[in-house]
Amino acid sequence: AQTVTQSQPEMSVQEAETVTLSCTYDTSESDYYLFWYKQPPSRQMILVIRQEAYKQQNATENRFSVNFQKAAKSFSLKISDSQLGDAAMYFCAYRIRGATNKLIFGTGTLLAVQP
Amino acid sequence: NAGVTQTPKFQVLKTGQSMTLQCAQDMNHEYMSWYRQDPGMGLRLIHYSVGAGITDQGEVPNGYNVSRSTTEDFPLRLLSAAPSQTSVYFCASSYSARTGVYEQYFGPGTRLTVT
């Protein structure tokens, strides 16, 4: 069975500093996608970044970047220059190619940003 | 575009009552899904649809029914509510053959409490 594990229930970072959120996953598939979603107190799920498993290059979106280690089945999210608006719950998610609407989520990491 | 809309935002039910959570999208997406979010468990897939008239079960389908008579709407029905169905429910849509977009877009969620 495919599973996604986030081992850090809570993290804290100082404003302007860098923080890394961890995610590991278990799958026997070779072609899949990985995602990080942000859920602020408004409850809205916001896609932060996406990584295709067949791409060796790590995805980046402005201050957000990932460290994708396919052999280790690891997919961490790095937030640089943290801002107060980054405070939220962050979910790691996985799906296989073709299963467009069947995401498997981790349990989330609650990120606090200290001024 | 309004994106994915869900009604109601909040609902309180008594055990045994029935209700329908509404979900609509105006992006002409073929795929739609329902997830539930419980504390400490992330989001779990309830039911999904790959097009009008086609639905299938996800990870936690028991106690829920769905139908998809139009591309735009994907209601979730609770026939006899139970306290274990207290949760936040998210609807999502994805995939457009016209635009090639595969990302899931989430609605704002419905917080349901069953007493």
DSSP label at B83? G
Is residue A18's pLDDT more than 70? yes
Of B41, B95, B111, the CB nearest to A100: B95
- Beta carbons of A101 and B109 less than 8 Å apart: no
| Tokens standing for residue A61 | 């979106």
The answer to whether the CB of A33 falls within 8 A of the CB of A52 is yes
What pLDDT is recorded for position B6?
97
**Test the B interface: residue of A7, A45, A92, A109 with most B CBs within 10 Å:** A45
Whether B104 and A102 lie within 8 Å, measured CB to CB: no
Predicted pLDDT of residue B56: 94
As a whole-number percent, the residues of chain A with pLDDT over 70 amount to: 99
In this predicted structure, the answer to whether residue A97 has a pLDDT above a threshold of 90 is: no
Q: Which residues contact A57 (CB under 8 A, 6 or more apart)?
A: none
Q: Tell me, what's the pLDDT at A96?
A: 84
Nearest to B34 by CA among B20, B24, B22, B48: B48
> 3-state class of A105 per DSSP?
strand
Lowest mean pLDDT of A47-56, A79-88, B66-75, B77-86, name the range: A47-56
The pair of structure tokens assigned to B10 is: 């909040």
A6: confidence class by pLDDT, cuts 50, 70, 90:
very high
Average pLDDT of the residues in A28-54: 92
Of A44, A100, A105, the CB nearest to B31: A100
State how far residue B114 is from chain A, nearest Cα, in angstroms: 20
- The DSSP line for A36-89 is EEEE-TT---EEEEEEETT--SPPEETTEEEEEETTTTEEEEEE-S--GGG-EE
CB contact (8 A) between residue B42 and residue A106? yes
- pLDDT attached to residue A65: 97
Nearest CA in chain A to B41: A107
Cα angle A18-A24-A25, degrees, rounded to a multiple of 5: 145
* pLDDT (mean) for A51-58: 91
CA-based nearest distance B39→chain A, Å: 8
Which parts of chain B register pLDDT below 50? none
Chain A residues touching residue B44 (CB < 8 angstroms): 105
pLDDT (0 to 100) of residue B41? 81
What are the phi and psi torsion angles at B39 (to 5°)? -55, 130
pLDDT at A68: 97
Give the range among A7-16, A78-87, A91-100 with minimum mean pLDDT: A91-100
Q: What is the mean pLDDT of residues A18-33?
A: 94
* Total CB pairs under 8 A between chain A and B: 55
